[in-house]
Amino acid sequence: MSTATAGGAAAPAAVPPPKKSRSVLGTRPWVAACFLLPALALLGALVVYPIGYSVYRSFFDASGHGFVGVDNYHEVFTDDRIRTALKNNVIWVIVAPSVATALGLIFAVLTERVRWGTAFKLVVFMPMAISMLAAGIIFRLVYEQNPDRGVANAVWVGIHDTFTKPAPFPGAHPVNDKVFTTGGGAFTTRSVVKAGTPAALPLVGVKPGDLGGAKDAIPARGVAGKVTGTVWMDFTRGGGGTPGMIDPGEKALGGVKVEAVKDGGTVASATTESDGTFTLPAAADGARLRLPPANFASHYNGIDWLGPSLVTPSIIGAYVWMWAGFAMVLIAAGLASVPRELLEAARVDGANEWQVFRRVTVPLLAPVLAVVLITLMINVLKIFDLVYIIAPGASLDKANVLALQLYQSSFGTDVNQGVGSAIAVFLLVLVLPVMLVNIRRIRKERQR
């Protein structure tokens, strides 16, 4: 109740003192600063200072004492190794995120319709639990050139040999040049053959494994009007024997193709039996006998996955194996939030599954796809360990990327931390536009 003044008027109520202003978060600015100070100190020590020092160091020479201006940046764009690394980085940024995102989208859409989809997603996502070091070691073995050790070439050679018959006796060759002339991998007799007179075609250099189960060679019998002969391994275990003659115990070479050649053309051909003998028709009379190179070609050893031409795509394949599961999980989470009534409405309107996927599902998933794509682009710009571990020394220069070149320039054989710092600053400049796009996208989503 207000007290009356001498004139009878009521005195105004006392005005309370103004409260101290608080921040938007509901606390005083100095309290917020105290809580943020440790994080800001760590941010400055671990992020701001290294970036600033790298920019400063990039203007000095290898010793760190001589100022060279922008010469280090000039070397970044003129050195052949660094230019190769930059070209490979462009390939990585375009190919790896696109393929991983596309596979993640396909896996997420297809596994949504099957009962065992969760188990499949778990299997696809499991490589994310493996470190880059372990994945690099795994794929170094997968891409091993020897089909007996490398999984990729074991599968590839198996497919190849299914459709292409391997040579029966790879590496076999004549003992000398008395019987055969050599040309283009084929062996041709020096003299012509006559019908009724058996021909002797001795070879050596056959691998013991290719002779497993081979029968003993026998001399061919003369047949009137036909050309006959024997192809055999002219080698007697323990020594001895007569060169050019079939000795007891010498093995037959079955399955060898024999051609009769006249005037540069093939007039007849036959394949040796299990005892090494063959028979050609009368057209072979007066011809020379030729053993084609297909009889002795080396076994197919697959693809040189880690050779200079394929090393970068092979390493990208290892990266996609790891990160396709990451893309699948994020896209599957976005797919779960897509309104099902929109998909059903499109089907009711007559759209097939491909049209629903292309015109409804993908546009609705565009924000999620952008998140996955941008995240993977930032990730591949810093790729280092997979390339360093998988690429062999002979192909390392061809597989080079900027992060690996940064390491080699800063700590490798030709140490120049000025150039290394320039590469680090250049990498930061490459990452910044992608980060800015991501920040703008996040702000737009918050405003919705």
Letter for the amino acid at 16?
P
Per residue in 176-199, pLDDT tens? 888 899 888 899 999 999 999 999
Distance CA 207, CA 334 (A): 60
Full DSSP string of 162-192: HHSPPPSSTT-B-SSTTTEEEETTEEEESS-
Residue 212 has a pLDDT of 82
Residue 226 has a pLDDT of 93
User: Which CB contacts under 8 angstroms, 24+ apart, belong to 137-144?
Assistant: 137/389, 138/318, 139/314, 139/315, 139/317, 139/318, 139/321, 139/386, 139/390, 140/306, 140/389, 140/390, 142/318, 143/305, 143/306, 143/314, 143/390
389 alpha-carbon distance from chain centroid: 13
Letter for the amino acid at 397?
D
Per residue in 325-376, pLDDT tens? 999 999 998 988 888 888 889 888 888 888 988 888 899 998 899 889 989 9
The β-bridge partners of 173 are 204
What whole-number percentage of the chain has pLDDT above 70? 94
Residue 17 has a pLDDT of 60
State the greatest distance between any 2 C-alpha atoms of the chain, in Å, as a whole number. Answer: 157
Q: By three-state DSSP, how is residue 239 classified?
A: coil
Residue 122 has pLDDT above 70, yes or no: yes
Residue with tokens 């009962």: 115
Per residue in 73-104, pLDDT tens? 998 888 898 899 999 999 999 999 999 999 99
Distance CA 96, CA 320 (A): 6
Residue 52 CB contacts under 8 Å (≥ 6 apart), including other chains:
none
Element (H, E) at 290: strand 288-291
Split at pLDDT 50, 70, 90, the class of 5 is very low
Mean local confidence (pLDDT), 192-213: 90
Residue 20 has a pLDDT of 54
- Torsion angle of the four alpha carbons 23, 29, 31, 36, in this order, in degrees rounded to the nearest 10: 100
Residue with tokens 């030729």: 290
Residue 445 has pLDDT above 80, yes or no: no
Least confident of 58-67, 96-105, 313-322: 58-67
User: How many other CB atoms are found less than 10 A from the CB of residue 24?
Assistant: 6
User: How many other CB atoms are found less than 10 A from the CB of residue 310?
Assistant: 17
Mean local confidence (pLDDT), 282-307: 90
| Summary mean pLDDT of the chain | 87
Mean local confidence (pLDDT), 289-304: 89
User: Which CB contacts under 8 angstroms, 24+ apart, belong to 430-439?
Assistant: 430/89, 430/381, 430/402, 431/378, 431/381, 431/382, 434/374, 434/377, 434/378, 434/381, 435/378, 437/374, 438/371, 438/374, 438/378
Residues in the chain: 448
User: How many other CB atoms are found less than 10 A from the CB of residue 276?
Assistant: 27
Strands annotated E in 166-281: 180-183, 186-189, 199-203, 227-233, 257-262, 265-271, 277-280
Residue 57 CB contacts under 8 Å (≥ 6 apart), including other chains:
64, 417, 418, 421
Cα angle for residues 16, 21, 25 (degrees, 5° grid)? 135
